[in-house]
Structure 1
Amino acid sequence: MHVPDGFLDAPTSVATGVVAAAAVGVALRGARRELDDRTAPMAGLVATFIFAAQMINFPVAGGTSGHLMGGALAVALVGPWTGVLCVSVVLIVQALLMADGGITALGTNVVLIAVVTVGVSWLVIRGLQLVMPKRAGLVPVQAAVGALLSVPAAAAVFTGLFAVGGVAPIDASTILAPMLGWHTVIGIGEAVVTGLVVGSVVAARPDLVHAARSAMARRTLEIRTPEVAR
């Protein structure tokens, strides 16, 4: 979904750039509460995995492309604020060093691929955790659902931005169907990948998975309760 230079007009690109800069600034502060000496290395691993996954692109329509985004994976493993930073760093490196996505469209890409996917994924995961049993083993399923819904959500937001500030001679309604269709398929693939990766980490080190912290805290409390009772 990398948006190229010149695909959106200047006012729209500037507006998304401001939103992206604000989001990254807030994420920098929030990440301090999510990371510690044990979990900080995980952020680097997540960014590396997302970078590799995003190298696989699928042409969609009107010069746009689709690929795995990694927002749900980042949210589940390192949290929403750190997740925004991980995906944003990947996008910056891709734009500056690999010409993947436009420089003037960098803010748009950060909003779509980092902010929207991470935000939607986190809302989905937290919502499911409120209604599902608090078990670490369910986190991969929750992350997979977050991935499935976040990808077409980002495609829908892109279509909205194009309807407002698109400069290509393409009607927004022409882009909407292929964008949602392809990104729903991509979302299914991303859900599978996210579920498998998060499941592997949960099986090995659930204490390092951000989305499993509430379940791990509850498990610790249940283990220690009999000792307190005595």
Structure 2
Amino acid sequence: MTNVSQLARPHLRSLLMHVPDGILDAPTSVGTAVVATIGVGLALRGARRELDDRTAPLAGLVALFVFASQMLKFPVAAGTSGHLLGGALAAVLIGPWTATLALAVVLLVQSLAFADGGVTALGTNVTLLGIVGVWVGWLVFVGVRALLPKRPASVVPAAAAGALVSVPAAALVFTALFAIGGQVPVPLDRLAAAMVGVHTLIGVGEAVITALAVSSIVAVRPDLVHGARRTLAQRPLTIREKVPA
């Protein structure tokens, strides 16, 4: 997403990756803070079912990877850039509840330590990236995975599809929030076209990065990938008999 403080510029050249302070009015920001608080509270309970002794370290590594990746930007179109949001990637690797917690922690640290995203907009950013991005990505992943062959390799294209859809979905939700409480003088139709159009391109980059990251782990340890567990459980057990020499 873009630096929305610049959305009044004629060509809408920057992307809203973290919503800064002052873009949404106080009631809207309070509303998203309530949604984020409820979402994180539910995630605290749900993550207990997703984590165990093997996957807990992976959750920390995923949060660190998302944190570092969000610092790196890639060109999208003339004058615009994007970076990994990481919601779908985290959901596939460590589960959607744990992913929501991981994104919330990442956004909190970025807001307080790096001024990346406003403090008063923290609830908005957690709602967009940690809830919408994670859960839209996860639901699309589950739907696409159900249509593909029941094998670990199918997790990769399903994860890519989830990542592709999750980014413009978060941009669309931000547009709806802006329609309710936007504080920048930008025509809503221009904002919607810019946000969804450009973030679809960012979604392509997100899909590529997600596919590469997931495929690298599936290739060596598919049992650690949350999104691959059901596929592994459905595979028939094969017992090879040792043939005497």
Q: Return the TM-score normalized by structure 2.
A: 0.86
Distance in 1 (CA, whole Å) between partners of 2:182 and 2:82 is 18
Task: Note the C-alpha offset of 1:130.
Answer: 2.1
**1:89–1:195 CA distance, 2 compared to 1 (3 A):** same
Q: Secondary structure at the match of 2:237?
A: helix
Q: Residues 57, 160 of structure 1: CA spacing in aligned structure 2 closer, same or farther, 3 A cutoff?
A: farther
Percent of paired sites with the same residue: 63
Look up the equivalent residue of 1:196 and give its one-letter code.
Answer: L
Measured against aligned partners, the alpha-carbon deviations of 1:168-201 in whole angstroms (never above 9, x if no partner) come to 1112212111111221111000100000100000
Amino acid aligned to 2:24: L
Q: Residue 48 of structure 2 corresponds to which residue in structure 1?
A: 32
Match of 1:90 among 106, 123, 145: 106
Residue 121 of structure 2 is aligned to residue 105 of structure 1: yes
Rounded Cα–Cα distance in structure 2 between residues aligned with 1:112 and 1:46: 19
Shift in Å at residue 127 of structure 1? 0.8
In the aligned structure 1, how far is the partner of 2:73 from the partner of 2:174? 17
Cα RMSD for the two superposed structures: 1.8
Q: Give, in whole Å, the separation in 2 of the partners of 1:187 and 1:86.
A: 20
Instruction: Name stretches of at least 5 consecutive residues in structure 1 with no aligned partner.
Output: none
Pairing 1:1-230 to 2, within 5 Å after superposition: 1-57=17-73, 66-219=82-235, 221-223=236-238
Report the number of matched residues.
221
The letter of the residue matching 2:194 is P
Contact between 1:2 and 1:66, CA under 8 Å: does it hold in 2? no
Structure 2 spans left out of the alignment, 5+ residues? 1-16
More helix by share: 1
TM-score of the pair, normalised by structure 1: 0.92
